[in-house]
Copies of this chain bind each other. A is one copy, B any other.
Amino acid sequence: MGKRKENSTNSLNESYIVESCDLTYAICKIGGRWKLLILCRLENGKLRFSELRNQITGITERMLTLQLRELEKEGLITRTVHAEVPPRVDYELTDIALELVPIWKQLSQWGAKHKNRVPKQ
């Protein structure tokens, strides 16, 4: 995501909020437009870059790369490079990410329910 300004109000705010609230911490890790979508896809096992790209509608290669990098840094996925040509790389959920599965399932159910209840707009 490019670097952030170290001392922007945003950054200061964020670090402050994060350290004082586990929930916000979690949201920071898995929030944003793509992260959960990516994790979701990996729910049933490894996938390679191109598979993710094809399965996630609307994502660009750049975004996929960026998000994968972040997820890796946060310890939510592992990245395995196979020394072949053409290159092959695959991604897999870590244990800690697997613990999120029930959560995103519930959230998904809630989403479905909410979608029906507030269809106007």
Contacts and interface: CB of A to CB of B under 8 A. Distances in A.
Contacts of A96: 110, 113-114, 117-118
A100 interface: yes
A115 B27 CA distance: 12
A57 interface: yes
A116 B70 CA distance: 18
Interface residues of A, number: 43
A41 to B, nearest CB: 11
23 contacts: A16-B58, A22-B108, A22-B109, A22-B111, A23-B36, A23-B37, A23-B108, A24-B37, A25-B114, A25-B115, A26-B107, A26-B108, A26-B110, A26-B111, A26-B114, A27-B111, A73-B121, A75-B117, A99-B110, A99-B113, A102-B106, A103-B106, A106-B106
